[in-house]
Amino acid sequence: EELYGVRRWGAGYFSIGDSGNIQIAPNHRLPDVTIDMKDVLDEIRAEGIQLPAVIRFHDILRSQVEILNETFARTIEEASYTGKYSGVFPIKVNQMREVVEEIIDAGEPYNYGLEAGSKPELMAVLAYNENPDALTVLNGYKDEDYLTLALLGRQLRRRMIIVIEKFSELEMLIPLAKKLGVQPLIGLRSKMMVRSSGKWAGSSGDRAKFGLSITEILNIIELLKKEDMLDCAKLLHFHIGSQMSDIRKVKEAVSEGARLYAKLIKEGVPLEYLDIGGGLGIDYDGTSSTTDSSRNYSTDEYVADVVYGVKQICDLEQVPHPNLVSESGRAITAHHSCVVTNIVGEIKNTGAQFDISASDGEHILVSNMRELVNSADMHPQERYNDAASYKQSAYEAFKLGILSLNEMAKLDTMYWRILVEIHSSLDRESFVFQELEELEDMLASQYLCNFSIFQSAADTWAIGQVLPIVPVSRLNEKPEVRCSIVDITCDSDGKLSKYIEGTEISDNIPMHTLHKNEDYYVGMFLTGAYQDVMGDMHNLFGRLTEVHIYCHDDEPGDFYIEEVVPGTSAEKVLETMQYNTDFMAKTVKKCIDREVRKGHIAPREGVRWTDYYEKCLAGSTYLKA
């Protein structure tokens, strides 16, 4: 278990069973009730569903909504805090309808609301957040339509708060609201001085893209007073960046935000809510540290720091405790989905063999390399250096036309044989080998995985995010092949370059030897936030098939597939790129018919080719298992 760190990043949802399979405990109230991932996969295969697939554990999603809301409620009570918690889920983190519906349903007892950051997201939340007691927070840059739709929300008696990101938005809103006779609820987004750390540090500080400076906030208050609309100002908002890894930054932001809130109350602004934005991190790499893919705090600590931090400052300033809003997206959704796929092949530098026996008149470089093959007792570092130098010289000689193809194949075979021998003879404890990492990288196999990094794990490619990748079964066998995971896109960037190995982050990872005629499944976990929806169409692979899993309430440990959403077909992805697939099918048929008429293809065969092309258009974009 330690090898892949499952328990450490699993947050209580994932572990390894005695069977050697990944186990899932999706309901936080029943931590001992698990389902076996292999059983889930067997059922998926039995239904004829092709991999790769996104598997959504809806019970995990519900658990995360409950945990966040209940932690705030409990802490508020313990702290004798007089405000309430009114959280919202920012749908940009995962806009899938089924995800949003599940969150709304699980959050209903807590009046958990939604956040939108664009016009289409606003249209979605208008239709999906009907609870008049839940907040809808509207962030992002706005035009007249955005603001008008928000006012429609007010007409529908929703608690829809328009967060002003820049002064001109208010100048646009005031006449619009007056014209329509609708009183808006207004939020003010503050540009924070605290500098967060990590990949999203740019969300705060003077150069932040969003938010108002203190001067702008005061100007807005003046304008609202002048327009007799100060009553509309209800919320103060800040967001200093996603995936905050260091709790000290959270504390700093809370204290800056609470101080500003208190001062504004003292200026007579009738604020009721303090919105601390998102940022609650996820321990993707299981190190509980301040790496970019981890966090050095728990959800309990985060909530306590927010509640007690705001309380302390409001008590000092003698203003009432505000209702607290948070916009956690990553923490709500990351755990609930994973991508499961199969390894379709192995790319190995050391695999190809050529007869290395000596031949008359062979080049001296070939004989030198052969001598090295027979020098097992040579100092490993020296042997490695010589092999590398002969290989480089051979490459130069080949370019000059001095070495033949046969000689190159011999040199190559011998070179890899020497490297494998050096690697297996190394006693890591007592011998310092300078290029050990380089050697391990060179010898590592590449496991070809049936998925696209660009579609399913965009952040691993874009910002070096670590995501756990683990075989779904055989976890009670020692994995012996060091490898890296590459995807099926025709792009050398399409590979994972960071892996969790124990408590370290490695450049490659041990996996099991592949057996002939036996599928080897791997799961990429914690993909439910951003990764699920941010992927692009590189190589036209499109969205994966989705399988929605629910647990039976009355039969602990049992599960059922509630829905299967088919992945994007080849014709659908082509159509998004403006191809007319009817035209394509007709054109290919026309070409086949022409060859039939010329007698190159038999008529019956022609029909088969035509049908086959059409079947592939309607079929999956990923490799067939």
Question: Catalytic residue positions?
Answer: 490
Q: Is 93 in the site for ligand PLP (CB under 6 A)?
A: yes
x/- mask, ligand PLP, residues 519-548, rule CB under 6 A, reads ----------x-------------------
Least gap, CB of 191 to ligand PLP (angstroms): 12
Q: Is 471 in the site for ligand PLP (CB under 6 A)?
A: no
Return the number of the residue (117 or 380) whose C-beta is nearest ligand PLP: 117
Q: Which residues, numbered 211-270, are part of the site for ligand PLP (CB under 6 A)?
A: 239, 242-243
Q: Is 90 in the site for ligand PLP (CB under 6 A)?
A: yes
Return the number of the residue (279 or 471) whose C-beta is nearest ligand PLP: 279
Q: Which residues, numbered 103-162, are part of the site for ligand PLP (CB under 6 A)?
A: 139
Q: Is 26 in the site for ligand PLP (CB under 6 A)?
A: no
Any residues with CB less than 8 A from the CB of 184 and at least 6 apart, and which? 150, 151, 154, 162, 173, 177, 232
By CB atoms closer than 10 A (0-12, 13-18, 19+), residue 207 is exposed
Whether the CA torsion 438, 440, 443, 446 is positive or negative: it is negative
Return the number of the residue (184 or 278) whose C-beta is nearest ligand PLP: 278
Judge whether 200 and 241 are in contact, CB under 8 Å: yes
Degrees to nearest 5, angle at CA 203 with 201 and 209 = 135
**Cα–Cα nearest to 276, from 72, 134, 526, 529:** 72
Judge whether 311 and 261 are in contact, CB under 8 Å: no
For ligand PLP, which stretch binds (CB under 6 A), given 276-284, 485-493, 562-570, 617-625? 276-284
Least gap, CB of 248 to ligand PLP (angstroms): 17
Return the number of the residue (66 or 412) whose C-beta is nearest ligand PLP: 66
Q: Which of 249, 251, 330, 336 binds ligand PLP (CB under 6 A)?
A: 330
Q: Is 337 in the site for ligand PLP (CB under 6 A)?
A: no
Return the number of the residue (52 or 113) whose C-beta is nearest ligand PLP: 113
Judge whether 457 and 467 are in contact, CB under 8 Å: yes
Write out the DSSP string of 317-336. Answer: HT-PPPEEE----HHHHGGG
Any residues with CB less than 8 A from the CB of 606 and at least 6 apart, and which? 592, 593, 595, 596
Q: Is 293 in the site for ligand PLP (CB under 6 A)?
A: no
Return the number of the residue (142 or 239) whose C-beta is nearest ligand PLP: 239
Q: Which of 83, 113, 279, 606 binds ligand PLP (CB under 6 A)?
A: 279
**Cα–Cα nearest to 363, from 386, 387, 397, 392:** 397
Least gap, CB of 329 to ligand PLP (angstroms): 3
Return the number of the residue (26 or 90) whose C-beta is nearest ligand PLP: 90
By CB atoms closer than 10 A (0-12, 13-18, 19+), residue 581 is middle
Least gap, CB of 171 to ligand PLP (angstroms): 22
HEC sequence for 86-145: CCEEEHHHCCCHHHHHHHHHHHHHHCCEEEECCHHHHHHHHHHCCCCCCEEEECCCCCHH
Q: Is 86 in the site for ligand PLP (CB under 6 A)?
A: no
Least gap, CB of 204 to ligand PLP (angstroms): 11
How far is the C-alpha of 562 from the C-alpha of 552, rounded, in Å? 11
Least gap, CB of 243 to ligand PLP (angstroms): 6
For ligand PLP, which stretch binds (CB under 6 A), given 53-61, 76-84, 277-285, 365-373? 277-285
Least gap, CB of 258 to ligand PLP (angstroms): 18
HEC sequence for 289-315: CCCCCCCCCCHHHHHHHHHHHHHHHHH
Any residues with CB less than 8 A from the CB of 424 and at least 6 apart, and which? none
How far is the C-alpha of 110 from the C-alpha of 117, rounded, in Å? 22
Token output for 354: 């050529």
Q: Taking CB positions, which residue lies at the least distance from ligand PLP?
A: 278
Q: Is 277 in the site for ligand PLP (CB under 6 A)?
A: yes
Count the residues of the shown chain that bind ligand PLP, applying the rule CB under 6 A: 16
Q: Is 335 in the site for ligand PLP (CB under 6 A)?
A: no
Return the number of the residue (64 or 489) whose C-beta is nearest ligand PLP: 64
Least gap, CB of 140 to ligand PLP (angstroms): 8
Q: In what order do the strands lie in the sheet with 22-24?
A: 14-16, 22-24, 35-36
Q: Is 321 in the site for ligand PLP (CB under 6 A)?
A: no
Q: Which residue has the tokens 């499952």?
A: 6
Instruction: Give the footprint of ligand PLP on this chain (CB under 6 A).
Output: 90, 93, 139, 239, 242-243, 277-280, 327-331, 529
